[in-house]
Amino acid sequence: MALVPTINNNELPIIAEVNMGADSTAPTVRATVVQASTIFYDTPATLDKAERLIAESASYGAQLVVFPEAFIGGYPRGSNYGLTIGSRSLKGKEDFRKYHASAIDVPGPEVERLAAMAGKYKVYLVMGVIEREGYTLYCTILFFDSQGHYLGKHRKLMPTALERCIWGFGDGSTIPVFETPIGKIGGLICWENKMPLLRTAMYGKGIEIYCAPTADSRELWQASMTHIALEGGCFVLSANQFCRRKDYPPPPEYTFSGTEEEPSPESVVCAGGSVIISPSGTVLAGPNYEGEALISADLDFGEIVRAKFDFDVVGHYSRPDVLSLTVRDHPTTPVSFTHAASKTEVFQTL
């Protein structure tokens, strides 16, 4: 492996690992994970920033670009929305109103713009967003192809800790793996990557490029990403934001709860750690803890075959006679209606 660092005109580091020993007979895909911060409470400006980063990635040859968790809409780090057991504060409710206003509808104009970006720069795009459906928010990944088509979405199945109070729960209908010309692409968000049965569902769908947008910048996260690459025999692309206090609105508009003192504007509140890992567990690029960056690697698909020869978790290494998994992949809705016409048809049949 040869490290090839370059700097673009905006002084955003581009860090790439070029695989000098790739199998020339196997397909190779250049992938980029984006490590950058949301412009909090300003979705139009965040979309503008996303387009600049996609353009930069494409100029470096990226065919696939993966953004962090909640990049559009923002990850509300340090906020508690005035929640205590038995009460909510008026300020917390207003904070949620502003956060709700920053989220996007799927489908909606922001999704159309993201699709246009993917088509303009000819990249497959994986984007972390806060999705708004009515008055409920979801932490979601959106997928787009290089022709500018929206492919679908994954809603976070299990929000972590206080996230459960501000985001709804996804269901089995949004855990897709998309078969594309550059490989089978899917993803899980942050700590739901720690859910063994959910990972197994992804392996069962044949995932090859496993995207893991996250908000976890701890070094321990790297162990999880390496394990998933080895377990699934797939490439793992984990994208996280790099944020300083100044990337969030100043107090009192936005406060970091639970800290002894308000962080200074330059304080790092999320240190990134974005990384790309091969099916053999080799770190191809990253992790980066230094600042905003574009982190790229060439994915040699021959590595998947070599890794699966050793261990194919849903193939020769499975024991369905002893262990099996059932996934309920239908939508769940709180309200359903039986129309009068349907009732009439049933009676006529009887």
pLDDT digits (tens, 9 = 90+) for 92-106: 999 999 999 999 999
**Residue 260: its pLDDT value, please?**
73
Mean pLDDT of 143-168: 96
Residue 233 has pLDDT above 70, yes or no: yes
Mean pLDDT across the chain? 90
- Is the sign of the CA dihedral 162, 163, 168, 174 positive or negative? negative
Find the domain containing 320 and state its range.
Answer: 2-349
pLDDT of residue 253: 87
Range with lowest mean pLDDT among 11-20, 22-31, 149-158, 281-290: 11-20
- Would you say 212 and 233 are in contact if contact means Cβ atoms under 8 Å apart? no
Q: Residue 311's pLDDT band (boundaries 50, 70, 90)?
A: very high
Name the nearest CA neighbour of 103 among 158, 194, 42.
42
CA torsion angle for 215, 221, 222, 224 (degrees, to 10)?
A: -120
Which domain CATH number covers 257? 3.60.110.10
Question: Residue 24: is its pLDDT beyond 90?
Answer: no
Q: Diameter of the chain by CA atoms?
A: 72
Predicted local confidence at residue 348, as pLDDT: 61
Q: Domain count of the chain?
A: 1
pLDDT at 345 over 50: yes
- Exactly one of 11, 51, 56, 69 is catalytic; name it: 69
pLDDT-derived band at 16, boundaries 50, 70, 90: low
DSSP, residue by residue, 196-253: HHHHHHHHHTT-SEEE--BS--STHHHHHHHHHHHHHTSEEEE-B-EEEGGGSPPTTT
pLDDT at 333: 86
Contact, 301 vs 208, CB < 8 A? yes
Q: What is the pLDDT of residue 47?
A: 98
Global pTM value: 0.89
Q: Is the pLDDT of residue 62 over 50?
A: yes
User: Is 69 assigned a catalytic role?
Assistant: yes
176 secondary structure, DSSP code = -
| Residue 236: φ, ψ to 5° | -115, 125
Predicted confidence (pLDDT) at residue 167 exceeds the cutoff of 70: yes
- Find out whether 281 and 16 touch, Cβ atoms under 8 Å: no
Helix axes 220-232, 196-204, angle to 10 degrees: 40
Q: What percent of the chain has pLDDT over 70?
A: 89
pLDDT band at 27 (very low <50, low <70, confident <90, very high): confident
> What pLDDT was estimated at residue 262?
85
Confidence of residue 255 (pLDDT cuts 50, 70, 90): confident
Q: Which positions ≥6 away from 190 have C-beta within 8 Å?
A: 69, 156, 160, 212, 213, 214, 215, 216
